[in-house]
Amino acid sequence: MYLKKKTLITICILLYVYWIFHDAFHSPKDHSLTYFNERRETLKNTEIILQSQPKGSKVDKRYYDNPQPYEYDFKNLINEPVLCSQYEKVFLLYTVRTIYSHLDRRKVLRKIFQDIPYDSFSKDIVVKHVFLFANTNNYTTESLIREESRIYRDIIQDDFPESYGNVYLKTLMAWKWSVEFCANVEYVMVLNDELFVDQIKLLPFLHYDLSQADYDNKFAFCYCFGGRELMHNKLKKFRKLGEKMLYQGENYPIYCHGVGYIAHINVINKLYLASLKNKMLMPDDVWNGVLSEKLGIKQNCQNHRVQASKYFGSILKSYWKNPFLVAVCDHDNRPEAAVPCLQGIYKSVSKLRNNSNVHNRLQ
């Protein structure tokens, strides 16, 4: 009797140990990592075809005849390598170009990014975000950035100088990081930190876009500009960068304004791969138009879903009349207005949505 009891106990212990090890080596994270690696390998092995210059193109001929290759090889200083890969799938990734002094903007944006709709399509989706920094070469500021990273775990930093002239590098950084560390994402939004995003409306909009046949050969959301003569050569902030840093020619192509655009990860990957064969220039958003034309990617203009104004009150009034997806809170280079605008719209829109009398109207 004693031996039977001892044998039974031994069997139970062995079964328990087996269960522990089986769970450890066959967890959901294991499956998610497999999917992540498969997606990343697919993206890595994508072959792009750059088209010849189409009839009626606004792009200067030199960018077709003599493209300059480029390699983005800056050292990574701060990273969150498992931000996406810890999940099987991520639906939307925000890659936000920011600078350290915009801490208050990031605080508001972190709240906005946490708002997930309760509809049947969105309740279980994963939305992630990262804030993109360059190197300030200031010991105190760098210490503060590292501390913010330790608290929020949402900062990516690469080792190139933090400056307006290097905004195009942050765009490349956003594309590259998305492909390498968030390969399991569906959509990527590249945006500046002055952009208010109505995520409650955006996610259903993207669910619909994903159902379209050409979702991976167009931008899902583009605030279209361009198609006219050059303007940046008249602005001091561009002129001081020097001609070698600037887009040349007589006219702009149609492009997605850099304040914010969204595309499927397959499109982001194509843009990144094309940028390695066509060195990017400033203004960086004009360059997404050049690359899009060479790749045959459509812009999908959604200007009617964007609100831009110098005044917060005007933006909110427009929202009441025609709810938009995004609002520019630094219109006409008024950075001091960005935080009050972001905070004001976020609080007001939240109140409107919680009001049962208007809730259905805003859906």
pTM beyond 0.75: the answer is: yes
Q: Give burial (CB, 10 Å; 0-12/13-18/19+) of 167.
A: middle
Cα–Cα dist 164/150, whole Å: 26
pLDDT the model gives residue 237: 82
pLDDT the model gives residue 122: 77
| Angle at alpha carbon of residue 190, lines to 353 and 246, rounded to 5° | 140
Parse the chain into domains and list their residue ranges. 40-44+59-360
Query: DSSP letter string over 53-87?
Result: PPTT--S-THHHHS-------PPEEE--TTTTTTS
Q: pLDDT: is 120 or 346 the higher one?
A: 346
Q: pLDDT: is 316 or 343 the higher one?
A: 343
Terminal Cα distance for the chain, rounded: 70
Sign of CA dihedral 85, 86, 89, 90: negative
Q: pLDDT: is 227 or 332 the higher one?
A: 227
Q: Could you report the per-residue pLDDT of 201-236, keeping only the tens digit for each?
A: 899 899 999 888 888 899 999 999 998 888 887 778
Q: Could you report the per-residue pLDDT of 240-252, keeping only the tens digit for each?
A: 887 888 888 889 9
CATH annotation of 40-44+59-360: 3.90.550
